[in-house]
Structure formats: C-alpha cells, structure tokens
Amino acid sequence: MGTLSLRRRLEPSLKVDIYEVKLGDEFLMSSLFTVAEIELARLALARLPGNNLDVVVAGLGLGYTAKAVLDDPRVRSLVVVEALDEVINWHQRGLLPETEGLAADTRTRLCEGDFFALVDADAGLDPGAPGRRFDAIIVDIDHTPRHLLYPSHAPFYTAAGLGRLARQLLPGGVFALWSDDPPDEQFRAVLSGVFGRTEAQVITFPNPLTGGRSANTVYLGY
C-alpha cells in the first residue's frame, strides 16, 4: 500500500512533541488529534450493558482507540487486528509514550492480519478461536467509507460486507466505525439495512493549528 513511517517532531507553534503515522504521502494519524479515536471506543462500549466484554479493534495506529477500550474495567479481552507488522512492533518496543503498556496488558492480543479478509473468512476475527463472536467490533482503518486506503476494502462497506461482520457480533453487540468526513447518508442507509439501530455521531474538537474546531464522525450499528 506504500511506505509506512512513524515520526516524532516538535510542533513549533505548541512547543510539544507529536507523533505522526504516514502511508506514502498520506497522513493516517497524529497524536495531536485523538479525541474522536478515543470517543470511538467510548461510544461503542457505552451502548453495552454488563461486564466481561470481549472486544475487537481493527486498526492499531498510535493505539488511542485500543487504549480507551482497556480503560473500561468491564473489558475482559481485546483482540487488535492490524495488517502491518511494523505498527505492532512500534507498540511492542514502547515507542509511543502516551499508549505505552497497551501491548503488555494481559487482556490484549495483537494479531497481524487483514481485517477485511478475516471478516470474509469462516474462521472469523480471532485466529486462535475460530468462530468466536464479540460484544463490540470497532474499526478505524480507512479515511471514510468512500475514501479508502486500498480498493479491496470497498466490499466491506456494502450491505453484504456489513452483514458478514454483524454475524460475528454476539446478540446485542455493537459495531463502531471512525470516519474523517461528515455523516454520509448513503452509508447510513446501508448501515440501517443491517442493524436495527444506527447512529452517526459528529465529534468536534479544538484544532490548535488553525485556532478553530475540526470534526470526525463515529458510526454505530447495534
């Protein structure tokens, strides 16, 4: 998909170190903007009653979504599916101070794999437990359901693709998806065809580089 890089740099306007992930020339994630990645996990888990929750996070990145999952004491286990071994290695080496400890948490398993291929496979999302189902599946990989990192991801965002994902949720389970764009009504309609209840939550946050506010969207289906 391109050359992956993790960089630390001083942001001169704020006089703080920030961490950034790039794939080729595209920015994937910055430690300067993590509000929506954290809310992605919190919103999904807030819709789940009970304890002993089993969760999948697809897309590890800088680790803020996975760390927010582990911050919920009700979570029993977390499987993180990440396509790029280099990203897993960053966390195992402790290169990211704000999410350090994520890889060492006994509830966590970091699994190298193609999430989209695993959704389509009979074995499911946990290579160590074929057919296992989960309370929540939380996805942060593509920029949006339309702006994809790779064309092969497109079938996931159809009714058939989301239907295959829904079968890997336990009864009452939650699907959550991060998007960089405003709510997309066409995708919301596809989501509504698969799940009984859907939401498109707009998450706003201060942008210290512009002095204004920025926004992401969190889609929920349950």
- Domain span at 129: 33-221
DSSP 54-83: EEEEE--TTSHHHHHHHTSTTEEEEEEEES
Q: List strand residue ranges (DSSP E) for the chain, in order.
A: 4-11, 16-23, 26-30, 53-58, 75-82, 108-112, 134-139, 169-179, 198-207, 212-221
Examine residue 16 and state whether it is found in any structural domain, yes or no: no
Examine residue 164 and state whether it is found in any structural domain, yes or no: yes
List, for residues 152-164, the tens digit of each pLDDT value: 999 999 999 999 9
Examine residue 10 and state whether it is found in any structural domain, yes or no: no
Examine residue 209 and state whether it is found in any structural domain, yes or no: yes
Examine residue 27 and state whether it is found in any structural domain, yes or no: no
CATH of the domain at 123: 3.40.50.150
Whole-structure pTM value: 0.95
List, for residues 90-128, the tens digit of each pLDDT value: 999 999 999 999 999 999 999 999 999 999 987 899 988
Examine residue 38 and state whether it is found in any structural domain, yes or no: yes
Examine residue 12 and state whether it is found in any structural domain, yes or no: no
Per-residue pLDDT of the chain (222 residues; tens, 9 = 90+): 678 999 999 998 888 999 999 888 888 899 999 999 999 999 999 999 999 999 999 999 999 999 999 999 999 999 999 999 999 999 999 999 999 999 999 999 999 999 999 999 878 999 889 999 999 999 999 999 999 989 999 999 999 999 999 999 999 999 999 999 999 999 999 999 999 999 999 999 999 888 899 999 999 999
Query: Which residues neighbour 182 within 8 Å (Cβ) at sequence distance 6 or greater?
Result: 202, 215, 217
* 52 within 8 A of 45, measured Cβ to Cβ: no
**Total domain count for the chain?**
1
- The CB-side HSE value for 208 (13 A sphere, CA atoms) comes to 13
* 33 within 8 A of 207, measured Cβ to Cβ: yes
For residue 116, the 8-state DSSP code is: H
Examine residue 23 and state whether it is found in any structural domain, yes or no: no
